[in-house]
């Protein structure tokens, strides 16, 4: 089977620091290549892969303000569909826009829906429902009006995350600096319990950062270290007493949650979205509804065996398991097409 893998071009594949969709595409692509599957990756020209690389955009548009996102996304998507007859399947990880090309080619299109950024994009998914194939990244993110071939959780490369039995004395926020991710809530909790907080991630909303984060930074109790690349992830995640994931939205998956547990670090998360699919309350973290419950959860961290965190990821969120499930779905697409 020849597969065309369509990645976003906001960031490089794999990303240098942030870029969850590109990161997942990279893990899946490299895993498929290891299995001997013929994959052509459509991504930015500076991407790194053992698959065949096909690129139009020279660089990620998020890293180069001279690149107009609409122009380069248009060229990027059109390239894969103009070459569709060369493949047995197109695997779309580029959200809804490529669906509008699907009726112009005979090659089946599989789309992994990486969450719904807004209800306004749903009409596109509805129009092409049953004409293309959908995969959800969590049970909680399935939309009742759509049909899915499967739910496939993301996998993390366990060899890249070192298990750390004894953490340092700090709490960690790890993700984009945005209201959705609950940075301010994490700061409030750290102050409430009197523990240091390390904040790591890109600033996605500068206004939010200036109002709700920057005033509390003192490099003692609250410290912002910026985005963390692959080389530093394991150390930063593994050294934390707990990852704080006090989200203000129904998160479709939450890669940082799986990454944290892979290092042995439990997660304290608001009980929203996919969190119950990743966290077993009391075993590898705590599901809470407010800051008071989160504060109590911190007092119970010593009851968590950090080895359970690691083993939970090994059993449920490995790259090998993700690749197995996608290969099974590719077979279903071939049979139904």
**Banded pLDDT at 96 (limits 50, 70, 90):** very high
Please check whether residues 88 and 139 belong to one and the same domain: yes
Please check whether residues 67 and 164 belong to one and the same domain: no
d(CA 312, CA 293): 23
Please check whether residues 227 and 332 belong to one and the same domain: no
Please check whether residues 70 and 163 belong to one and the same domain: no
Please check whether residues 10 and 143 belong to one and the same domain: yes
| CATH number, position 296 | 3.40.50.2000
**Number of domains the chain contains:** 2
The predicted-structure confidence for 224-279, as pLDDT tens digits, reads as follows 999 998 889 999 999 999 999 999 999 999 999 999 999 999 999 999 999 999 99
Please check whether residues 288 and 311 belong to one and the same domain: yes
Bridge partner list, 2: 38
pLDDT at 219: 87
Please check whether residues 162 and 301 belong to one and the same domain: yes
pLDDT at 229: 84
Torsion of CA 119, 123, 124, 130, to 10 degrees: 120
Q: What is the mean pLDDT of the chain?
A: 97
How far is C-alpha 128 from the geometric centre of its chain's CA atoms? 24
User: Rounded mean pLDDT of 314-325?
Assistant: 98
Please check whether residues 151 and 83 belong to one and the same domain: yes
Please check whether residues 255 and 307 belong to one and the same domain: yes
CB 134 within 8 A of CB 153: no
- Characterize the bridge pairing of strands 89-92 and 171-174: unpaired
Sole residue written with tokens 């892979």: 262
Q: What is the CA radius of gyration of the chain?
A: 20
Please check whether residues 126 and 252 belong to one and the same domain: no
Percent of the chain with pLDDT over 70: 100
The predicted-structure confidence for 297-311, as pLDDT tens digits, reads as follows 999 999 999 999 999
The predicted-structure confidence for 150-198, as pLDDT tens digits, reads as follows 999 999 999 999 999 999 999 999 999 999 999 999 999 999 999 999 9
pLDDT at 211: 98
How far is C-alpha 51 from the geometric centre of its chain's CA atoms? 21
Percent of the chain with pLDDT over 90: 96
As given in the structure block, the two tokens for residue 243 are 């990852």
Residue 102 has pLDDT above 90, yes or no: yes
ω into 118 cis (within 30 of 0): no
Please check whether residues 261 and 290 belong to one and the same domain: yes
pLDDT at 18: 87
The predicted-structure confidence for 44-75, as pLDDT tens digits, reads as follows 999 999 999 999 999 999 999 999 999 999 99
CB 126 within 8 A of CB 106: no
d(CA 268, CA 270): 7
Please check whether residues 144 and 192 belong to one and the same domain: no
Domain that includes residue 323, residue range = 2-155+319-336
Which helix (DSSP H) or strand (DSSP E) does residue 165 occupy?
none
CB 313 within 8 A of CB 237: no
């Amino acid at each position: 089977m020849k597969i065309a893998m369509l990645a976003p071009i906001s960031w490089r594949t794999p990303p240098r620091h942030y870029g969850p969709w590109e990161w997942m595409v990279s893990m899946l692509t490299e895993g498929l290549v290891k299995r001997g599957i013929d994959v052509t990756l459509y991504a930015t020209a500076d991407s790194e892969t053992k698959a065949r690389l096909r690129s139009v955009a020279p660089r990620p548009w998020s890293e180069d303000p001279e690149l107009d996102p609409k122009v380069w996304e248009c060229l990027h998507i059109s390239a894969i569909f103009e070459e569709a007859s060369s493949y047995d399947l197109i695997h779309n990880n580029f959200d809804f826009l490529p669906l509008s090309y699907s009726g112009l080619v005979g090659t089946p299109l599989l789309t992994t829906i990486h969450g719904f950024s807004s209800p306004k994009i749903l009409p596109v998914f509805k129009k092409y429902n049953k004409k293309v194939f959908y995969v959800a990244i969590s049970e909680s993110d399935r939309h009742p009006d759509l049909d899915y071939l499967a739910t496939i959780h993301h996998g993390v490369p366990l060899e890249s995350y070192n298990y750390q039995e004894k953490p340092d004395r700090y709490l960690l926020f790890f993700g984009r600096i945005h209201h959705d991710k609950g940075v301010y809530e994490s700061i409030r909790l750290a102050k409430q319990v009197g523990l240091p907080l390390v904040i790591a991630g890109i600033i996605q909303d500068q206004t939010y950062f200036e109002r709700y984060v920057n005033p509390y930074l003192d490099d003692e109790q609250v410290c912002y270290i910026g985005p963390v690349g692959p080389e530093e992830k394991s150390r930063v995640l593994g050294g934390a007493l707990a990852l704080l994931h006090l989200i203000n939205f129904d998160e479709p998956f939450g890669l940082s949650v799986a990454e944290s547990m892979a290092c042995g670090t439990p997660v304290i998360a608001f009980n929203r979205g996919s969190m119950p699919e990743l966290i077993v309350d009391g075993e590898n973290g705590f599901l809470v509804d407010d800051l008071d419950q989160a504060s109590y959860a911190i007092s119970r961290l010593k009851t968590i065996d950090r080895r359970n965190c690691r083993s939970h990821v090994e059993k449920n969120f490995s790259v090998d398991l993700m690749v197995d499930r996608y290969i099974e779905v590719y077979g279903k697409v071939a049979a139904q097409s």
